């Protein structure tokens, strides 16, 4: 009986760690619960850093084919499409990231930036409130969206 309680406590601790620790942005959880680096996501990030946004799309598609719950990949897909001027598509991708992780600070910031870009400052302000809750101790995403809401100009990120 003691061994079963100990095993149960370990399982609960592992589940808690999985759901409270986001893990590296380029990692995804396998069906058996392991966090692994996704090479295609890493390649997508590299393409984005190089400013070759279209080149990132096939890598992100492959990442999402393998790991449909990869919130960071959905967020980056939104970012890529926003930078390409495809705002409707970008919004759908950010929504997907936020469906998976409602407190995804990057998606909250980027969606807010999109709202500023598309003339919907009230929606950006609403996201700012959500981001303030998600970043209660402060974070870069909060700073960026706060600036965009205050100035009415979306950042270039």
Q: pTM here?
A: 0.79
What per-residue confidence (pLDDT) applies to 156?
78
Q: Higher model confidence: residue 74 or residue 4?
A: 74
Decide which of 142 and 28 is more confident.
142
Q: Are 132 and 100 in contact (CB under 8 A)?
A: no
| The pLDDT of residue 147 | 96
Domains in the chain with CATH codes: 2-151 (1.25.40.10)
pLDDT over threshold 70, residue 7 = no
pLDDT (mean) for 11-18: 37
Higher pLDDT, 28 or 64: 64
* Rounded average pLDDT over 109-114: 97
pLDDT computed for residue 20 by the predictor: 35
Instruction: State residue 101's pLDDT score.
Output: 93
Secondary structure of 88-151 in HEC code, one letter for each residue: HHHHHHHHHHHHHCCCCHHHHHHHHHHHHHCCCHHHHHHHHHHHHHHCCCCCHHHHHHHHHHHH
Q: Across the chain, what does the average pLDDT equal?
A: 85
- Is the distance from CB of 33 to CB of 69 less than 8 angstroms? no
Q: What's the CA gap between 82 and 15, in Å, rounded?
A: 34
């Amino acid at each position: 009986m003691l061994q079963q309680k100990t095993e149960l406590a370990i399982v609960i601790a592992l589940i808690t760690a999985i759901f409270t620790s986001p893990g590296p942005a380029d990692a995804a959880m396998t069906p058996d619960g392991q966090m692994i680096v996704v090479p295609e996501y890493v390649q997508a990030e590299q393409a984005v850093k190089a400013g070759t946004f279209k080149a990132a799309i096939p890598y992100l598609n492959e990442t999402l084919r393998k790991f449909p719950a990869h919130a960071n990949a959905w967020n980056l897909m939104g970012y890529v499409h926003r930078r390409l001027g495809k705002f409707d598509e970008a919004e759908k991708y950010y929504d997907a990231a936020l469906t998976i992780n409602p407190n995804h600070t990057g998606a909250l910031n980027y969606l807010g930036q999109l709202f500023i870009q598309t003339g919907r400052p009230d929606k950006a302000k609403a996201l700012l409130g959500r981001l303030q809750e998600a970043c209660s101790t402060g974070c870069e995403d909060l700073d960026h969206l706060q600036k965009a809401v205050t100035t009415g100009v979306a950042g270039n990120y």
